[in-house]
Amino acid sequence: DSGVTQTPKHLITATGQRVTLRCSPRSGDLSVYWYQQSLDQGLQFLIQYYNGEERAKGNILERFSAQQFPDLHSELNLSSLELGDSALYFCASSVRTLSGELFFGEGSRLTVL
């Protein structure tokens, strides 16, 4: 158990819909990272927050947005879903930004039909 909690574990929805994925980081970790993992693209960095502020942005689509709340939990919002958005979405946390180990949650598997 990494201490990072992601919900939901599985989600099936239709094209055009909107979903929210939730992440609670390890106790004491200030940084939260979101990654997308698909078979053909591997583990792709989406976005990182540190203590509520956006720190780094990767190849995150404009249809996707994220935020980190004062209690440090984070949400990833995916809208106007397309078939190609089907993937595993991982949240990770670390104490500081880009130093040391990233602790990953078990992921949220999104299936868009």
Partner 1 sequence: TQLLEQSPQFLSIQEGENLTVYCNSSSVFSSLQWYRQEPGEGPVLLVTVVTGGEVKKLKRLTFQFGDARKDSSLHITAAQPGDTGLYLCAASNTGKLIFGQGTTLQVKP
Q: How far is the CB of 21 from partner 1 (least distance, A)?
A: 14
Measured from the CB atom, the residue of 65 and 109 that comes closer to partner 1 is 109
Residues that bind partner 1 (CB under 8 A): 2, 4, 33, 35, 42-45, 48, 55-56, 58, 90, 92, 98, 100-102, 104-107
Q: Please tell me the distance from the alpha carbon of residue 28 to that of residue 95, in angstroms, as a whole number.
A: 7
Q: How far is the CB of 15 from partner 1 (least distance, A)?
A: 26
Measured from the CB atom, the residue of 78 and 107 that comes closer to partner 1 is 107
Measured from the CB atom, the residue of 55 and 73 that comes closer to partner 1 is 55
Q: Are 29 and 23 in contact (CB under 8 A)?
A: no
Measured from the CB atom, the residue of 75 and 79 that comes closer to partner 1 is 75
- From the list 85, 99, 81, 82, the residue with the least C-alpha distance to 33 is 99
Q: State both tokens at 44.
A: 């792709």
Q: How far is the CB of 16 from partner 1 (least distance, A)?
A: 29
